[in-house]
Structure formats: C-alpha cells, structure tokens
C-alpha cells in the first residue's frame, strides 16, 4: 500500500430528526451567533419554527443572513462589513451548497478587515487567507456539493471578466456537520437530481483522481454505491427517508474525498463554464459527466493507463447487476448508465442555458483538468463540451 495523508471531515452527527434539538446542541458554543440560511427553502423546513422558538427560549441571540443564489463576492463583503466587531461566537449554516459556501466565507471573512477578492484563488491580488475563522456548524438541506465537509467556499461573479474561485484553508472545514435527512425532504425533484449528480460526479472524480489513496477509494466507492441505490429514488419520491439518508451520506462522503483527492475535468468545466454563464453547478456537472467519462476511458485505453481503467471498471461493476462480464463490458455499461441517468433526469445540454458554439473555444481554453486520471488535449476537452452544447 502506498503512503498517504488523510484529513477527516468535521465531527458528524447523523440521523433522522437529529437537528430538532439544534438549540441545545449549539448552546455550549456561546450565546451570540450568525445564522445563514436560504429564504423560502428555510421556512419550508420541518423544524424551522421550533428552532427559532427554542433559540429565544434559551437566550440565544442571532443575526439572520439570507442567501439568494450562488454567493457573490460583493454580497460577502457587504455582510462582513456589517458583522465585524460584534462579538459573534460562531456561525450556523442551514441550507444547500450556496448557503454552506456563503456561511463558510462569512465565518472566515468576518475575522479579517479586508475584502474577499484578496483571498480568492486565481485572482490577480490573491494572497493566502490567514486561516482565522469563527467555528461553523453546518446543516445541509440538499445532498450535493458536500460543502459541509470541505475546506473551500466557492464564490462567483459571472460575466465577461467573471470568475468562480475558491476561498480555501484547512481551518475552514466546518467544526460540526449535523446531517438530518428529514431536512432534505422538502427539496424539489429537479434540485435533488442535479445535486445528486454533483455528489456522484465528485465521488467518481475523487475515486479516479491521480491523488486518490486507500482511504478516499474506500469512502468514494461506498458513496457511489449509495448513489446507485438511492439517487433516482430520492429524486422520484422525495419523502423516502431511506433514500434521502443514503444520498445525504453520499454527499457528505463526496465532500470528504474531494477535499483529500481533488477532482477532475468535469469540475474543471464547472469552473470555466460558471465563470461565463450563470448555470446551476449540479446541471453543469450532470450534463458533462457521461461524455467526460467516455472521453477519459477512451484516452485511458490509448495510453494503456491500467490504474484508470481498473478504477472505471470498478465503478461500472457498482452500477451493474451482472457479474462475470469482461472489463470492456463494464466500461461501456458505465458510460451508458451515466447517460441514461442524465436523460431520465432531463438534465439539459448547455445550449439550453445560452451557451453557443462560439463560446466553446474560450471555455475549453479556461478548463483545467485538475487531478483527472488522464491528460486531455484541448481538442479532447473541446470535443466533450461540444457534444453537450
Ligand atoms: Fe461539485
């Protein structure tokens, strides 16, 4: 076995109904906190009223920040200017990936007297954030980005000179994740599908990553298996708590493995496309997953990359009920199953979001292959995105 370093995710409290006692769980952390949530999604949650009543009943004071859409740099800066020097002790995030990322950024940026653009990777003025942060307690309400387990917050500013960049530090991993599948029940089918495809993409990309190790492989393959068992069920019957539990855990695992092993070309596209177009992250990942996998397998065969081929074969075996087939059968089956899932979920091509053939050269130039299992030429990257536009 090769040497590796593994960073575990946050402490995890997992279980149906676990979040109902939120006020008592957070009380030891202090009496004044920042509460970051979505808007309508928050008031639809089963314990919404109970939480607010209990906060007041035990003397917890909070400032409520509502996040709409993916977090923008200007929004984080504006909120932090208001929140600084107010002696908040910790941050509680209740919501989907955008809420998690916004809360992570606010928890970190409230501790420094500066704008977030100075600490975003890839921007000209980038410098490393000192790593100071308020402790963060994360309660995800969608099963997708796994942001409740990662050390980065993705901040976007779409447009001509737009960006989608990460604020990142080892200290930014939330201190506690409370994963309560009952909070996922109100999540609509289309969001469940796109978020679940994001989690599946993260698990597949981390499993096949050049930085994967024994720990990430073990967790990723289990996460993929949970997605195979329950992604469709969770999207089609939102109140199926077993399916919601599987997907909630799969998403958390996807965050843990991506934080350790990194991601591949699909998430390269997620950055490049999102820097130019305002398209949900799960849709970008979902629409490109099948074709990217097909290209990676094709290139791994050309390069005779045995490790990559055996990883993709193993994933194909998780999807299959048939045994005793040869490796090529599982490789073809995997691509077929991913494309079938994308069709069944009606995940549209990028053309449906105003991306045109004129944009594809620029997108492929901006796309980084990260820790993709095989190197891809710009022509191959262009071929992937052309097939899904
Ligand atoms: Fe993702």
Whether the predicted pLDDT of 161 surpasses 80: no
Whether the predicted pLDDT of 159 surpasses 80: no
What is the predicted pLDDT for the residue at 108? 98
Of 184, 201, 232, which residue is a domain's last? 184
Rg (CA), the chain: 20
Among 139, 111, 132, CA closest to 14: 139
Residue 1 belongs to some domain of the structure: no
Q: How far is the CA of 50 from the centre of ligand 1 (A)?
A: 32
Of the pLDDT bands very low, low, confident and very high (cuts 50, 70, 90), residue 144 is: very high
Number of folded domains that form the chain: 2
What is the predicted pLDDT for the residue at 370? 87
Of the pLDDT bands very low, low, confident and very high (cuts 50, 70, 90), residue 82 is: very high
What token pair was written down for 263? 């991601």
Q: How far is the CA of 255 from the centre of ligand 1 (A)?
A: 9
Residue 273 belongs to some domain of the structure: yes
To the nearest 10°, report the CA torsion of 70, 261, 338, 345: -20
Over residues 33-61, the mean pLDDT reads 96
Of 145, 162, 184, which residue is a domain's last? 184
3-state secondary structure of 357: helix
Looking at the structure, do residues 227 and 281 belong to the same domain, yes or no?
yes
Q: How far is the CA of 81 from the centre of ligand 1 (A)?
A: 29
Please count the residues of the chain.
389
Q: How far is the CA of 254 from the centre of ligand 1 (A)?
A: 9
Q: How far is the CA of 220 from the centre of ligand 1 (A)?
A: 14
Looking at the structure, do residues 132 and 52 belong to the same domain, yes or no?
yes
In this structure, of 78-82, 145-149, 153-157, 224-228, the range with the lowest mean pLDDT score is: 153-157
Looking at the structure, do residues 312 and 351 belong to the same domain, yes or no?
yes
Residue 246 belongs to some domain of the structure: yes
Over residues 134-139, the mean pLDDT reads 98
Q: How far is the CA of 198 from the centre of ligand 1 (A)?
A: 5
Of 166, 184, 202, which residue is a domain's last? 184
Looking at the structure, do residues 273 and 338 belong to the same domain, yes or no?
yes
**Residue 278 or 33, more confident:** 33
What is the predicted pLDDT for the residue at 163? 84
Of the pLDDT bands very low, low, confident and very high (cuts 50, 70, 90), residue 71 is: very high
Residue 55 belongs to some domain of the structure: yes
Q: At what angle do helices 281-302 and 327-344 cross, to 10 degrees?
A: 160
What is the predicted pLDDT for the residue at 213? 97
Residues, CB within 5 angstroms of ligand 1 (ion): 198
Q: How far is the CA of 74 from the centre of ligand 1 (A)?
A: 22
Residue 3 belongs to some domain of the structure: no
Looking at the structure, do residues 242 and 376 belong to the same domain, yes or no?
yes
3-state secondary structure of 372: coil
Looking at the structure, do residues 143 and 169 belong to the same domain, yes or no?
yes
Looking at the structure, do residues 166 and 259 belong to the same domain, yes or no?
no
Q: How far is the CA of 134 from the centre of ligand 1 (A)?
A: 24
Percent of the chain whose predicted confidence (pLDDT) is above 90: 93
The domain that contains 46 carries what CATH number? 3.40.50.1970
Q: pLDDT tens digits, residue range 205-246? A: 999 999 999 999 999 999 999 999 999 999 999 999 999 999
Identify the domain containing residue 33 by its residue range. Answer: 11-184
Q: How far is the CA of 110 from the centre of ligand 1 (A)?
A: 25
What average pLDDT does the chain have?
96
Looking at the structure, do residues 175 and 243 belong to the same domain, yes or no?
no
Q: How far is the CA of 292 from the centre of ligand 1 (A)?
A: 14
Residue 229 belongs to some domain of the structure: yes
3-state secondary structure of 214: helix
Residue 258 belongs to some domain of the structure: yes
Looking at the structure, do residues 165 and 53 belong to the same domain, yes or no?
yes
Q: How far is the CA of 253 from the centre of ligand 1 (A)?
A: 12
Q: How far is the CA of 368 from the centre of ligand 1 (A)?
A: 14
Over residues 285-297, the mean pLDDT reads 98
**175 CA to centre of own chain:** 17
What is the predicted pLDDT for the residue at 209? 98
Residue 213 belongs to some domain of the structure: yes
Whole-prediction pTM value? Answer: 0.94
Of the pLDDT bands very low, low, confident and very high (cuts 50, 70, 90), residue 1 is: confident
Looking at the structure, do residues 132 and 213 belong to the same domain, yes or no?
no
Whether the predicted pLDDT of 151 surpasses 90: yes
Q: pLDDT tens digits, residue range 354-368? A: 999 999 999 999 999
What is the predicted pLDDT for the residue at 106? 98
Q: How far is the CA of 270 from the centre of ligand 1 (A)?
A: 8
Q: How far is the CA of 312 from the centre of ligand 1 (A)?
A: 19
The domain that contains 294 carries what CATH number? 1.20.1090.10
Looking at the structure, do residues 194 and 158 belong to the same domain, yes or no?
no
Looking at the structure, do residues 165 and 210 belong to the same domain, yes or no?
no
Query: What distance in Å separates the CA atoms of residue 237 and residue 142, rounded to the nearest whole number?
Result: 14
């Amino acid at each position: 076995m090769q040497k590796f370093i593994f960073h575990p995710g946050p402490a995890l409290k997992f279980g149906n109904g676990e979040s109902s006692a939120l006020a008592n769980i957070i009380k030891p952390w202090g009496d004044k906190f920042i509460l970051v949530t979505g808007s309508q999604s928050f008031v639809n949650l089963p314990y919404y009223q109970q939480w607010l009543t209990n906060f007041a009943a035990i003397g917890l004071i909070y400032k409520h920040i509502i996040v709409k859409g993916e977090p923008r740099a200007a929004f984080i800066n504006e909120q932090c200017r208001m929140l600084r020097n107010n002696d908040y002790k910790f941050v509680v995030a209740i919501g989907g990936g955008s809420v998690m990322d916004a809360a992570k950024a606010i928890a970190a940026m409230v501790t420094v007297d500066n704008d977030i653009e100075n600490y975003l990777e890839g921007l000209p003025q980038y410098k490393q954030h000192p790593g100071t942060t308020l402790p963060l307690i994360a309660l995800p309400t969608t099963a997708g980005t796994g942001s409740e387990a990662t050390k980065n917050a993705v901040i976007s500013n779409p447009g001509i000179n737009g960006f989608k960049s990460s604020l990142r530090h080892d200290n930014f991993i939330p201190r506690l994740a409370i994963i309560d599948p009952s909070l996922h029940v109100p999540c609509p089918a289309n969001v469940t599908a796109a978020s679940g495809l994001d989690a599946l993409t993260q698990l597949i990309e981390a499993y096949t990553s050049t930085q994967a190790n024994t720990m990430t492989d073990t967790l990723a393959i289990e996460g993929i298996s949970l997605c195979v068992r329950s992604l469709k069920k969770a999207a089609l019957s939102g109140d199926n708590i077993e399916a919601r539990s599987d997907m909630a855990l799969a998403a958390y695992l996807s965050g843990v493995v991506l934080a350790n092993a990194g991601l591949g070309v699909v998430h390269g596209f997620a950055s490049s496309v999102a820097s130019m177009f305002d398209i949900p992250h799960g849709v970008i990942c979902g629409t490109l997953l099948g074709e990217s996998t097909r290209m990676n397998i094709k290139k791994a065969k050309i390069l005779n990359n045995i490790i990559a081929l055996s990883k993709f074969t193993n994933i194909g075996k998780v999807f299959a009920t048939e045994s005793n087939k040869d490796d090529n059968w599982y490789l073809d089956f995997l691509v077929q199953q991913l494309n079938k899932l994308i069709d069944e979920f009606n995940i549209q091509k990028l053309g449906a979001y105003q991306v045109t053939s004129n944009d594809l050269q620029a997108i492929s130039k901006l796309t980084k292959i990260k820790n993709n299992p095989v190197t891809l030429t710009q022509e191959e990257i262009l071929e992937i995105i052309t097939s899904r536009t």
